[in-house]
Structure 1
Amino acid sequence: MQEKTEKEKMLNSELYLATDEELTRMHFVARQLLYSFNFSQPDEVDRQQHIIHSLFGKIGSNFSIKPPFYCDYGCHIFAGNNLYINFDCTIIDCNKVHLGNNVLLAPKVQIYTAYHPTNPNLRLSGKELAAPVTIGDNVWLGGGVIVCPGVSIGSNVTIGAGSVVTQDIPHNVVAVGNPCRVIKSV
Structure 2
Amino acid sequence: MATNILFVKNMVCHRCILAVKDILLDLSLAFDYVDIGEIHLPEGLTREQHQLLGTSLQKIGLELIDNRMHGLVEKIKQLVLMKARKEIGEREHKMKLSVFLSEQLHHEYTYLSSFFSSVEGRTIENYFIDQRIEKVKELLVYNEMTLSEIAFEMDYSSVAHLSNQFKKICGLTPSHFKRVGTNKRKLLDQI
- Which structure shows the bigger proportion of residues in strand conformation? 1
Q: What TM-score comes out, normalization by structure 1 length?
A: 0.25
